[in-house]
A and B are shown apart, each in its own frame.
Chain A
């Protein structure tokens, strides 16, 4: 058990630190406390609210962003740890008003219902397609295992990834 008693905690002044963060190609300097998580920095300080906070304990994947190309959980990453890193969020996928092929595929295949998991899903999918441009169903399932969706039943999402990577999608007969 590791706890600091209240007195030493009150004495502890955690000063804000300045970190520079490149989010979707734009550098910003942010004053954050060590306890500020990456998702708090992205949503509350930068104002990009596409990334969603849900479980905040690493068990849902809704907050997934790409940090230096790796899909990471922004709720379990401290903003100070990301000093100098390039972060990509769901807002960085579309070019202006034009959705990217992956986003189009999500719409075409019914991969979005309530939409709360979608931004995390898209970022995990982007990371997968950058590593493996033609993933099979099994690889897709494994890559998306950390993203929970309570609406779609996942088939639409997997179909969307297959379609976005130029692979045939079996028509379902239901």
Chain B
């Protein structure tokens, strides 16, 4: 039940949605699947004056572009993404990541773009603030921080929990952002500001239009793991997505991408671990060393009852395992992964 009134408009096209956003200013929000926005409105974390529904815009099916890159409409529902033959064949990691999100119903409703643009979370932020937590926290415009009482600065250490974003970063994807002045294209990583107060680098009148993932080169392998307590219907405890490309000898790493999710205000690239891997001969010891480095540099924020130590240990184990998976896949697969 949403306890306040708001206006409702339907945009006919993506351009129309942007024009409406520009006209209504920052009091308007876009509504796609609604699985993140409506709970936020219910807890009055977000109180838009108008919702601009994207319901009338039919998503384009995923299609192959120049050089074998795959363009996926941001309005594609996660369930359709996970079922798409093209995505499963070309980008199995993305299909697996989409399948790891929420629950069956959440995936049938939620869209790829909505998943990327989701609100950050903490145990206190995403619930109503009118009884247990009467004083608003920093993110709600107040003067306190419930999970970190010694946090006196105006910062928010809530955690960005998309499962799909780390996979897209590991796949080196880029996004198309439609604004009043046309389309701009940036890497997925540049979508995230790193600030819990305002996690996305999107202007008020911008819309995430599509995601493009480049073709996977030869001798390339992937690994993905989402840790959670129940294994379903849950936000991640820590998410690891890795991609490895091997040299022709099948031993040396040409390129490594390690992305970690649900540990900071934004998905984290483990740059030091990637440097350890690139150019070196991959054996178990090397992968374990890189995993330890990744866990350290993630500098995980304690969240939802998981301590920093627990999350660091978790990452050390699961980054190693996903790297081992990726190496195995890279060796097995002659061509694309």
Instruction: List A residues at the B interface (Cβ < 8 Å).
Output: 1-4, 8-9, 12-14, 17, 33-35, 37, 40, 56-59, 61, 64, 70-73, 76-78, 80-81, 124, 127, 141-148
Contacts and interface: CB of A to CB of B under 8 A. Distances in A.
B39 interface: yes
Interface string B75-89: 000010000000000
B195 to A, nearest CB: 12
Contacts of B38: 37, 58, 76, 78
Contacts of B231: 145
Contacts of B6: 12, 14, 34-35
**Residue with the highest number of chain B CB atoms closer than 10 Å, among A9, A13, A64, A73:** A73
**Residue with the highest number of chain A CB atoms closer than 10 Å, among B49, B231, B232:** B49
Given A1-B141, A72-B105, A77 B8 contact: no
Sort chain B's interface into a size bin. Answer: 35 or more
Nearest to A124: B104
Interface in B2-56: 2, 4-8, 26-27, 29, 31, 34-35, 38-39, 42-43, 46-49, 51, 53, 55
Contact of A146 (B4, B48, B139, B233): B233
Interface string B89-107: 0000000000100111110
Given A145-B103, A145-B104, A81 B4 contact: no
B232 A142 contact: yes
Contact of A76 (B34, B46, B55): B34
B7 A37 contact: no
B27 A61 contact: no
B301 interface: no
Contacts of A144: 104
Given A1-B140, A34-B7, A57-B39, A73 B106 contact: yes
Q: Which 4 pairs across A and B sit closest by C-beta, in order of nearness?
A: A146-B103, A145-B232, A34-B8, A14-B5
Given A142-B104, A145-B103, A76 B109 contact: yes
B5 A12 contact: yes
A81 B1 contact: no
B313 interface: no
A142 B7 CA distance: 37
Nearest to A39: B1
A71 B43 CA distance: 24
B-side interface mostly = mixed
A3 B141 contact: yes
Nearest to B33: A76
A61 B102 CA distance: 11
Contact of B42 (A56, A142, A145): A56
Nearest to B109: A72
Given A2-B48, A9-B49, A81-B34, A71 B4 contact: no
Contacts of B99: 142
Given A2-B48, A35-B2, A77-B109, 15 more contacts: A2-B29, A4-B27, A17-B8, A34-B5, A34-B8, A35-B6, A37-B38, A57-B43, A59-B233, A72-B108, A73-B106, A76-B38, A81-B31, A127-B104, A147-B103
Nearest to B28: A2
Nearest to B26: A2
B105 A8 contact: no
A35 B4 contact: yes
Contacts of B55: 81
B2 A37 contact: yes
Contacts of A37: 1-2, 38
Contacts of B104: 71, 124, 127, 142-146
Contact of B7 (A12, A124, A127): A12
B139 A1 contact: yes
26 contacts: A1-B141, A2-B27, A9-B4, A9-B49, A12-B6, A12-B7, A12-B49, A34-B6, A34-B7, A35-B4, A35-B5, A40-B1, A57-B39, A57-B43, A70-B79, A71-B105, A72-B105, A73-B105, A76-B39, A80-B53, A141-B232, A142-B104, A145-B103, A145-B232, A146-B102, A146-B103
